[in-house]
């Protein structure tokens, strides 16, 4: 089959499998590589040492897959209509805010399986097809690739934004040795807007397109394994797993649309659970209730650490103090106890 025809077929298959966008690009990412190296040099990646370790593997696809000359970039929406409204949760200090991407089934397996189905179909059509499929699973400069492939632009908040679909979506890639015709790079439509920069609770977007991950609530609550610096705790509010503020305020998210993927549906009520109820989970309950969701990648310690901060920031109440004291009495983890003590002192503080 001619590659032009095959390209159209792949687009068709991706739609059938629930993807919301697809684009084809080459592997030349020089400009983005310079941005990445500068970002690493400034140590904005914090304790994500793997980013440093991988170096230019991320920006040179043929280092990850020798022989790769094209990347097919895929986009899949994850917002679900059943989700309790984000702002209502953020404004209710007794509820726990969990980043919307983490509420459904783990996207890694959902998307990767679909990418492999597409690869299998390509393999049936063409000889000597070589590929590797990735979903946030290897050093891939996924947003830069998606921008080059025409799926959207990298906004000042450093997320990929699509004119018709906002930014609530996942990205996945197929690296390949097939010489597909490439698509046009997307233009930027941020214009004079700076809403994400001025809204970020911890001022993590230090300049347009520059995120100091060390300050970002997603990093602090998910990537960081140890103590959350005190200077960020008040600003974290009730966000216990990730943060969506820079997406919530982005005007382009007025156009975000629902996912077609059933598995991203939410049935575990994690979109509006109370902080106390989540704090009272045993380790076994934590594992069971977050099974197959992205939340499962943090430890039980991180879970309790994050909720302690949420409870410290919640409305003052005897119930909150009581559950903090109880957890403190049964915990022998000094790091956790330090976070609980911080929460207790905030609860007892007279304004």
Closest CA to 155 of 199, 206, 203, 210: 210
Binding ligand SF4 (rule: CB under 6 A), the pick from 103, 250, 295, 309 is 250
Interface with ligand SF4 includes 55 (CB under 6 A)? no
Catalytic (active-site) positions: 136
Could you tell me which stretch among 46-54, 191-199, 270-278, 337-345 binds ligand SF4 (CB under 6 A)?
191-199
Chosen residue from 35, 60, 112, 195 binding ligand SF4 by CB under 6 A = 195
Tell the residue number behind the tokens 């991988």, with chain if given: 54
Q: Determine the interface stretch with ligand SF4 among 217-225, 245-253, 258-266, 298-306 (rule: CB under 6 A).
A: 245-253
CA distances 318 to 276, 314, 325, Å, are: 12, 12, 10
Residue from 125, 122, 131 nearest 172 by CA: 131
220 binds ligand SF4 (CB under 6 A): no
The stretch near ligand SF4 (CB under 6 A) out of 119-127, 247-255, 271-279, 316-324 is 247-255
CA 269 to chain centre: 20
Q: How many CB atoms lie within 10 A of CB 262?
A: 11
Rounded CA-CA distance 96/89 in Å is: 7
The residue whose Cβ lies closest to ligand SF4 is: 155
Instruction: Please identify, among the stretches 92-100, 244-252, 265-273, 306-314, the one whose residues bind ligand SF4 according to the rule CB under 6 A.
Output: 244-252
Does 42 engage in binding with ligand SF4 (CB under 6 A)?
no
Length of the chain counted residue by residue: 351
Q: Is 8 in the site for ligand SF4 (CB under 6 A)?
A: no
Q: Segment 136-175, which members bind ligand SF4 (CB under 6 A)?
A: 155-157, 161
**Residues 279/96, Cβ–Cβ less than 8 Å:** no
Stretch near ligand SF4 under the rule CB under 6 A, chosen from 95-103, 192-200, 281-289, 304-312: 192-200
The C-alpha atoms of residue 76 and residue 79 are separated, in whole angstroms, by 10
Distance CA 5, CA 348 (A): 68
98/196 with CB nearer ligand SF4: 196
Tokens of residue 311, six digits: 């409870």
48 near ligand SF4 (CB under 6 A) = no
Instruction: For strands 131-134 and 97-98, give the pairing.
Output: unpaired
Q: Determine, following the binding rule CB under 6 A, whether residue 206 of this chain makes contact with ligand SF4.
A: no
Examine residue 251 and tell whether it contacts ligand SF4 (CB under 6 A): yes
Shortest approach of ligand SF4 to residue 170 CB, angstroms? 18
Q: Considering the rule CB under 6 A, would residue 236 count as an interface residue with ligand SF4?
A: no
Nearer to ligand SF4, 69 or 193 (CB): 193
Residue of the chain from 140, 190, 220, 298 that contacts ligand SF4 (CB under 6 A): 190
Calculate ∠ Cα 214-220-221, nearest 5°. Answer: 160
Q: Is 296 exposed, middle or buried (0-12, 13-18, 19+ CB in 10 A)?
A: middle
Least separation, in Å, of the C-beta of 63 and ligand SF4? 30
Residue 102, interface with ligand SF4 (CB under 6 A)?
Answer: no
Sign of CA dihedral 63, 148, 33, 118: negative
Strands 70-77 and 169-176 come out as antiparallel
Please tell me the count of residues contacting ligand SF4 according to CB under 6 A.
13
Site residues for ligand SF4 per CB under 6 A = 155-157, 161, 190, 193-196, 249-252
């Amino acid at each position: 089959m001619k590659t032009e025809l095959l390209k159209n077929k792949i687009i068709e298959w991706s739609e059938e499998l629930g993807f919301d966008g697809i684009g084809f690009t080459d592997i030349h990412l020089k400009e983005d590589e310079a941005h990445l190296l500068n970002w690493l040099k400034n140590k904005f990646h914090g304790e994500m040492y793997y980013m440093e370790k991988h170096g230019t593997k991320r920006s040179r696809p043929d280092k990850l897959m020798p022989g790769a000359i094209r990347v097919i970039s895929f986009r899949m929406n994850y917002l679900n209509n059943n989700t309790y409204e984000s702002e209502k949760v953020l404004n209710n200090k007794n509820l726990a805010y969990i980043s919307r991407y983490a509420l459904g089934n783990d996207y890694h397996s959902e998307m990767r399986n679909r990418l492999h189905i597409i690869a299998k179909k390509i393999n049936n059509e063409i000889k000597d097809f070589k590929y590797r499929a990735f979903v946030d699973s290897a050093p891939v400069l996924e947003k830069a690739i998606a921008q080059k492939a025409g799926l959207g632009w990298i906004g000042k908040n450093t997320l990929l934004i699509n004119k018709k679909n906002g930014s609530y979506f996942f990205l996945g890639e197929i690296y390949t040795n097939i010489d597909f015709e490439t698509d046009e790079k997307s233009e930027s439509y941020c214009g004079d807007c700076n809403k994400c920069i001025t809204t970020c609770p911890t001022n993590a977007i230090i300049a347009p397109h520059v995120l100091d991950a060390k300050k970002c609530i997603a990093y602090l609550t998910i990537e960081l394994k140890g103590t959350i610096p005190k200077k960020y705790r008040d600003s974290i509010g009730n966000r216990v797993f990730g943060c969506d503020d820079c997406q919530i305020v982005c005007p382009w998210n007025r156009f975000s649309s629902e996912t077609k993927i059933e598995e991203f549906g939410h049935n575990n009520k994690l979109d509006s659970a109370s902080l106390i109820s989540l704090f009272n989970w045993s380790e076994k309950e934590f594992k069971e209730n977050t099974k197959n969701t992205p939340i499962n990648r943090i430890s039980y310690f991180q879970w309790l650490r994050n909720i302690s901060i949420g409870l410290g920031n919640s409305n003052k109440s005897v119930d909150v103090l009581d559950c903090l004291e109880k957890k403190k009495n049964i915990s022998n983890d000094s790091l956790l106890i330090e976070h609980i003590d911080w929460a207790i002192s905030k609860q007892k503080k007279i304004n």
